[in-house]
Amino acid sequence: MSELRHRVSHAPARACAGLLLLALGSAFAAGPVQPSAMPAAEPGDSAWQIAAAGTALEAQAPAVRRHEDLLFWTLPGGQREPATAAHLLIAAPYAQVQAAVRGVVQAQGGFQEGNETSPLSYLPDDWGRVLLSRRQDLRAALAERFAQPMLQAAVEQGALTEEEARTRLQQARERSDWAPQDRAELAVFRETRYAEYCATRSERQGMSGRLELRVCVFDMTAAMGHATTALSIERTDNYANPDYSVIRQITQFNPLGGASQPSRLSQRVVPAVLFQAVRQALAASVPQQPVRVAASPLAWTQPPQRAGAAPAIAFVPPRNDVPLLPFDALPWDALGGELATADSGARYPRDLLALPDGDLLLSMQVLGGTGASTRLWRLHHDGTRWQTETVWQGEGGAQRLMPDAQGSRVWFLAGAAGESAVLYAYDVASRRLHRYRVDGEGSDGYARWELDAAQRPVYFDHSYAGGGGAFGSSRFILNAPTAAVPAADGPWAFAPVFGAPRQALMDAAKKGNAQLWPVRLRDPHALWVEDAQGIAALDPTSGRVLRAFALPQRFGRPDPADASGVAPWVPTPLGSLQGRWIASGFVLMLADHGTGTPQFAPSGASKAQPEARFVGMHVLDMDDGRVRLSALLGCADALKAAARSAHGRLLALGSDAPAAAGPQLALWQIAAAQTPLRLASPARGSLNALAFSWDGATLWALTDGGLLRWSLPLALRDPAGAGSYPEHAKY
């Protein structure tokens, strides 16, 4: 084994990129922008070392059999990995560098050499991104050509607001990942050419192996703003797989597919002999300039100025220095009726709803001797004990119970045995149950539905428009009743109201869910939706966007460059017209230091760094779009339930604590942006739903073991009134 040699490059810390929002207009109003000069010390240079191939590769690898030294990248923690390619950069004229490299190639012998010039649009590997990251004028030209017409069409068709279009245009002007075919459509990329020199050497290895060594030199002056040359060195080793066996392939053949053993293997390496010789030749030819080395050209991209950055997150976790509010537990056997007689392991609670008169509606799937069925019960306390009345029983459904604004009628979707799900309306006063079969659009029993401002069910779906349009064909569909609620049970016709093109502008989200879905908020003036960028208000008759507000990141590891995407595993967004806010759930992977308040992981942190899934809700002001509160419940797999009080003064969140430690719950005062008290909870059990009572005196929780009840202090009670009612949502 050869002696281990190493070199480490120390990169300066990256400065935070500022935010710049440019007006929508010509990118060339102030003339072309000159390329950014390469600083004296480039960030991103890779730490490297030279070591024997046998320290990392298998014994049958050609580099090991040839007893070669290879280039390795030095990783955190003292680890290393073989380089698959080496990229070099030096501030020197192309002709001077090419001559130095050509001298090395000719000295080592056996290379075939070639020179050519190519359009700037087809720079190799990731050098095109390096070019664009340093050339604002070229980025702006691409944005003008491809993004601006689409954004103008989006504004005209009501898919984006003008402010959103301005932000997106500026984001397009900061993009460096434009495809070569896009670049090739602009004359400046076709007419500007760069010089390139490549030398290749092909060698045989054993009976059937072949080693393809390649070194290339090309002019990067157009990107860097002064004489600069880039190089790449790599070798591809193709050789027979020593473990391959025809007999084994036949005997282990899987007709259903699956991985098969290849007869040949391929591996990319960087031979130290050529790498070191090139470096030494460059040092001798251009002694005054350092030779930079990186695993990828992307190391030398310049970070963009971020436009339209998402709001920063300031978590508000539950306080520990406030009074603890005890709970009353109502296990199933204390509620009487079938709730008491069913086997405890056969109950699967679905939803809970408080009624204006103090009664409760509770839906549950029950397993019995004849199979599974879903029940909906009305619970009434007569002053002495609980009475249980069956409202409905069927095969499945009743997952969500939704009252109208007066609490006089409760809607749910369910199905009897052998039939599709239908809409049911339960009259609270008369205790009568009405049944409506949805005809036309929206009749799918699995479609998403909500109550609109007229207290009618409306359905939401996604579809595609013919022809695609200027910016995509995805549409967000609203289906509404064509007539009032029928007087008698029977069919009820629904038809599309609009297909909002805004959906097409959200499909590019890289994290979470990209689909639009409604906020649980019955606003007569707007249909509020959650989308990949945040919260938007749509015209309820046309689907045109009226307003749009960005939300902080809702899903994944914190990413300052991309906060898009709707979080999974959270309840439907919840809003309050009286409180003028909308709450949207988040599920973020954060560094957990055991302090009770998680921290954002450092930028570029290793995946091995301890992280945990934390849940909560961002509370957005409906009028000005500011984030009033980022309520952080804690560490959990999902945010299972949310509920608001009648006027939106209180927001309750709940989920299951880690390690099966029972429900975890918290209550926030929206105006104060803090938790006024702590909610005690049992050490065991799983949460299903939360609900405030209409008189504001009680917070209810539905768990797998029964009901929990907290009696709220007088100062916190938020009773319902004209036009105000409590609301809840669950995952």
* 36 pLDDT tier (thresholds 50, 70, 90): very low
Model confidence at 466, in pLDDT bands (50, 70, 90)? Answer: confident
Residue environment code for 82-104, b if the CB has 16+ CB neighbours within 10 A, otherwise e: bbbbbbbbbbbbbeebbebbbeb
What integer pLDDT is reported at residue 260 of this predicted model?
66
12-16: list long-range contacts, CB under 8 Å, 24+ apart. 12/41, 12/43, 14/43, 14/303, 14/603
Domains of the chain and CATH, by start = 5-10+43-300 (no CATH), 315-730 (2.130.10.10)
Q: Residue 33 has what pLDDT?
A: 32
Residues 577/727, Cβ–Cβ less than 8 Å: no
Chain centre distance of CA 111: 48
The Cα–Cα gap between 289 and 229 comes to: 12
pTM: 0.84
Buried b (16+ CB within 10 A) or exposed e, 21-60: ebebeebeeeeeeebeebeeebbbbbbbbbbbbbebbeee
pLDDT interval class at 371 (50, 70, 90):
low
Pick the more confident residue, 21 or 239: 239
Whether pLDDT at 392 is above 60: yes
Separation CA 377–CA 388 (nearest Å) = 6
What residues have CB less than 8 Å from 382, skipping those under 6 apart? Answer: none
Instruction: Give dist(CA 685, CA 1) in Å, integer.
Output: 60
- From CA 683, how far away is CA 329, in angstroms rounded? 12
Nearest in space to 728 (alpha carbons), one of 576, 578, 586? 576
The pLDDT value given to residue 6: 33
Phi and psi, residue 64, nearest 5°:
-75, -45
**Cα(368)–Cα(392) distance, rounded to whole angstroms?**
16
The pLDDT value recorded for residue 31 is 32
For residue 342, what pLDDT is reported?
67
Instruction: Kindly state the percentage of the chain with pLDDT values over 70.
Output: 87
The Cα 630–Cα 651 span in angstroms is: 12
Q: What are the DSSP calls for 287-336, one per residue?
A: TTS--EEESSGGGGPPPPPB-SPPPPP-EEPPPSSSPEEP-EEEEGGGT-
Report how far apart, in Å, the C-alpha atoms of 458 and of each of 43, 112, 437, 445, 464 are. Answer: 54, 70, 13, 13, 19
pLDDT digits (tens, 9 = 90+) for 98-149: 999 999 999 999 999 999 999 999 998 799 999 999 999 999 999 999 999 9
pLDDT of residue 597: 62
Residue 518 pLDDT greater than 60, yes or no:
yes
| Helix, strand, coil percentages, rounded to 5, for the chain | 20, 40, 45
**Distance of alpha carbon 251 from its chain centroid, rounded?**
44
Short-list 689, 683, 684, CA closest to 654? 689
pLDDT tens per residue across span 180-229: 999 999 999 999 999 999 999 999 987 778 999 999 999 999 989 899 99
Specify the pLDDT at position 601: 56
- The pLDDT, as a whole number, for residue 509 is 81
d(CA 643, CA 655): 12
Report the pLDDT value the prediction gives residue 44, as an integer from 0 to 100.
62
Q: What is d(CA 622, CA 547) in angstroms, rounded to the nearest whole number?
A: 10
113-122, 359-368, 460-469, range with greatest mean pLDDT: 113-122
The rounded distance, in Å, linking the Cα atoms of 47 and 293 is 8
CB 454 within 8 A of CB 484: no
pLDDT average, residue stretch 242-253: 66
Q: Helices marked H in 135-264 — which ranges?
A: 136-142, 148-156, 162-173, 180-183, 187-191, 221-224, 246-251
Check whether 698 has a pLDDT greater than 50.
Answer: yes
pLDDT grade, residue 490 (50/70/90)?
A: confident
Alpha-carbon gap, residue 560 to 169, rounded angstroms: 19
Are 655 and 664 spatial neighbours (Cβ–Cβ below 8 Å)? yes
User: What confidence score (pLDDT) does residue 261 get?
Assistant: 72
> Helices 272-285 and 94-108: crossing angle, nearest 10°?
140
pLDDT surpassing 60 at residue 69: yes
Share the mean pLDDT of the chain: 88
Q: What's the pLDDT tens digit per position in 560-599?
A: 888 999 999 999 999 999 999 999 999 999 886 555 567 6
pLDDT at 264: 86
Give the whole-angstrom CA distance, residue 351 versus residue 398: 8
DSSP state of 694: T
The pLDDT tens digits of the residues spanning 261-319 come to: 788 899 999 999 999 999 999 999 999 999 999 999 999 999 887 777 788 899 999 99
For residue 348, give the 3-state DSSP assignment. strand
Q: For residue 354, which of 666, 701, 716 has the smallest C-alpha distance? A: 701
Query: 556 has which bridge partners?
Result: 588
Q: Long-range CB contacts (< 8 A, 24+ apart) of 671-678?
A: 673/316, 673/628, 673/629, 674/316, 674/319, 675/316, 675/318, 675/319, 675/322, 676/322, 676/716, 677/322, 677/323, 677/324, 677/325, 677/713, 677/716, 678/318, 678/319, 678/320, 678/322, 678/323, 678/324, 678/325
The CA distance from 102 to 105, in Å, is 5
Tokens 């030209």 correspond to what residue? 141
Q: Is the pLDDT of residue 604 over 60?
A: no
